[in-house]
Amino acid sequence: MKKINRLIAVLLTIAMMLTILPVFAAADGGDDDGYITVYISLEGFTIGNGFFIEPFAVSIPEGSGVDVPTAMMFDEYGLTTDWFGGWLQRIGGLNYSAIEVPNLIMEGIMREHYSQEMFTLEWAGVGSVDGSLGAGDYSSFAGWMFTVNHELIGIGVDEKFLNNGDVIRWQFSLAAGMDLGVHDWSEPFFWQEDKTALIRELLSEYANPAGVQFALDVAINPFATDGDVRAAFAALRALDWEAAMERALTRIVTHVSAPNFGTTMGEWAILAVARSGFDAPDGWFDGYVDRISARLDGIRETQNPNDTDVSAPQGVPNGNWIYNPATGRREVRFADAQSTENSRLVVALTALGFDASNFTSTVSGYTYDLVARLGNRTDVASSQMWGERQGMNGPIWNLIALNSLGWETPYEISDRDWVGGTTEANPITLDERIDWLLDRENATNGGWALSGTAFDADITGMTIQALAPYYYVNAEVRAVIDRTVTAIAVNQRENGGWGGAGFASGYNVQSTAQIIVGLTALGIDPTRDPRFVTESGNTPISALLSFQDDVTGGFIHPYGGNVNQMATEQATYALVAYWRFRNGMRSLYDIRDAFVGVVKVDAASAQIERAYIRLGESNSAILVVATFNGNGRFTGMGTPIQVNESGWIDVNFDISTGQTWRLMLWSCENLMQPLDNPWPR
């Protein structure tokens, strides 16, 4: 039976009459009307049951003890209680699941503190038959205890008075408080991080809803580290990065009305918008493709496959092409030393669902290959890869471009002795491309640099993006990247971002953007990995968003400067990379999903109408749409469709509410062999 003295009953009645329901509020001082805000929760982490009642805020009269919010909590959730004076004996109505004592707590119990004979866990039970939990259950030392601001309280609830902002955590203990990690008069089995400030932040009106569940998981985890707590803070304090991404994308499509070939207002703008699924204006993508087609049609022909002369008269685009009779395609080279002109366009066209090695001009109908000459040497007499004279950028972006369509199987470049010094005996192999980058690791300060030995966030982030596909299949790549990730963390600034080196020196958004893209390509969450959450709770994402202009949605360069188009495009595609990571999609430059699985979904009818399939070397394949419930369990699939050629095919598959779906392509020759890894949508 609940035993609460008359004074407590009166206080409770007043509080309930004035508040009706618990009031959620921040703890920035008591209310003017004589009320304070405190936070309270009910927890069973010692028996593997997490929160019985998640933390919530209540408004109570000043001068109240712990008994007031405690009684309000039990009344609000319909729980019964037994008391012995000011000591809680038992709670009824919990209906908790089977207990599962964490190993660290179990080990502590079985050590010198308590003998096994005195500890009588009823392992055969699946929780209390009557749904209650209290003193003596599972252990002669078991019972309910409470902390206030991470301090275990050894007096009754009516004797511990509260201040504004106090955090009360009721916790079930199996070992007289030794398993709670907060014992003050004897060393506990482990030390739990103080979650007081985290719980206050969790219930603040300013808390980011997207970070609440993560923060709750950290708050109830008794073994969460300091880094975990900081990461939870960062998640709660994070600005609405999705809204920021939408604003930035809107800025791009409105400010760049006619995207064209170029380092700004061109390929990077196309990449950001295409990889985000953002609803671009009608004709925005098509206009870009038409302008690229016209540019390709305008460059000159050469008869010399080793021709590095790409100069052109004024008004004519730089570059040259040579006709390959074996493929019927015009193979393009845009620049002498810089291969990034080709690579950049390969990435953009791939993001739009085009095969950049087989691109047909919408103006002339001629077919162009932007990929083939990435297999060139610098010239016929050189052992250098084309782009190597450009420095780090050339080989980095060549590899990113070659991997964009096939994350695990890069574009195949034929070894023809007439192509720019690349002979059958001297091909540019994948190993050569990888080793070239590994050999240039910055041995002094980690990562990679455009020049010198200073840590260079821009080049380091880009190199990780190029090498990410090989992290799990190449031990040397993995070792170098692991060292690099450590160097990235060491060089992070307290504001959460990075500065560049050389021409990009100083704190800037581009450096932070490249690191974000690199980390997400490795599967690292830049907002929750403790290595990248600073002592003050800043993260790479919060650092990046600090550069966004409040008026235009664009991004500034340098810090404190004006909106800059290059900064805007790089910051935006970094946010897109993070968005893709958070939604379980392929990384920014793993663009297979623009081919196997480019789908048209009718939102109104929740139906997958069409899908664009690229078969590659396969002559035919079987397409299957499978559905899964919220727990990831298979629930059904559509009628298998045989695909005999690349292109758009009709699917017409209905998606039930709450279902996720996967588009899978299987080889007709071997039905046990998927042609592409399925991914959830």
pLDDT digits (tens, 9 = 90+) for 475-520: 999 999 999 999 999 999 999 999 876 555 678 999 999 999 999 9
Tokens of 337: 């030393």
Is pLDDT of 174 > 60? yes
pLDDT digits (tens, 9 = 90+) for 185-226: 568 899 999 999 999 989 988 788 888 999 999 999 999 998
Q: What are the distances in angstroms from CA 29 to CA 22, 25, 36, 301?
A: 17, 10, 7, 76
Q: Which of 303-307, 444-448, 470-474, 677-681 has the lowest mean pLDDT?
A: 677-681
**What pLDDT is stored for residue 408 in this prediction?**
47
**What pLDDT is stored for residue 3 in this prediction?**
29
Instruction: Give Cβ neighbours of residue 643 (< 8 Å, ≥ 6 apart).
Output: 613, 615, 620, 621, 622, 623, 649, 665
Taking alpha carbons only, the member of 117, 191, 205 closest to residue 152 is: 191
Q: Which of 11-25, 426-440, 635-649 has the lowest mean pLDDT?
A: 11-25
Q: Which fold has domain 6-192?
A: Ferric Hydroxamate Uptake Protein; Chain A, domain 1 (2.170.130)
Q: Considering the chain, what is the average pLDDT of its residues?
A: 82
Q: What are the distances in angstroms from CA 454 to CA 318, 392, 438, 451, 457?
A: 35, 15, 17, 8, 10
More confident residue, 619 or 83: 83
Give the pairing of strands 329-333 and 367-369: parallel
State the Cα torsion 428-431-436-441 to the nearest 10°: 170
pLDDT digits (tens, 9 = 90+) for 54-108: 999 999 999 999 999 999 999 999 999 999 999 999 999 987 777 888 988 888 8
Is pLDDT of 125 > 70? no
Instruction: Map out the domains of the chain as residue ranges.
Output: 6-192, 241-582, 595-667
The amino acid that residue 667 corresponds to is: S
Cβ(438)–Cβ(480) below 8 Å: yes
Q: Provide CATH code, domain 241-582.
A: 1.50.10.20
Q: Which long-range contacts (CB under 8 A, 24 or more apart) does 106-112 make?
A: 107/189, 108/175, 108/178, 108/179, 108/188, 108/189, 108/190, 109/139, 109/174, 109/175, 109/179, 109/189, 111/189
The mean pLDDT of 161-184, rounded to a whole number, is 91
Rounded to whole angstroms, the Cα distance separating 66 from 367 reads 77
Buried b (16+ CB within 10 A) or exposed e, 436-473: bbbeebbeebbbbbbeeebbbbbbbbbbbbbbbbbbee
Q: Which pLDDT band holds residue 260 (cuts at 50, 70, 90)?
A: very high
Strand runs (DSSP E) across 475-629, as ranges? 499-500, 506-507, 556-557, 562-563, 598-602, 607-613, 621-628
Taking alpha carbons only, the member of 414, 418, 336, 434 closest to residue 378 is: 336
Is pLDDT of 116 > 50? no
The answer to pTM > 0.75 is: no
Counting Cα atoms < 13 Å in the Cβ hemisphere of 400 gives: 30
**What pLDDT is stored for residue 662 in this prediction?**
61
The mean pLDDT of 445-473, rounded to a whole number, is 94
pLDDT digits (tens, 9 = 90+) for 353-404: 888 988 999 999 999 999 888 888 877 777 888 899 999 999 999 999 999 8
Instruction: Give Cβ neighbours of residue 383 (< 8 Å, ≥ 6 apart).
Output: 377, 426
Rounded to whole angstroms, the Cα distance separating 22 from 40 reads 11
Tokens of 268: 């990077």
Residue position matching structure tokens 């021409």: 503
CA torsion through residues 441, 444, 447, 448, sign: negative
pLDDT digits (tens, 9 = 90+) for 298-338: 999 998 877 888 998 888 899 999 998 878 899 999 998 88
Is pLDDT of 151 > 50? yes
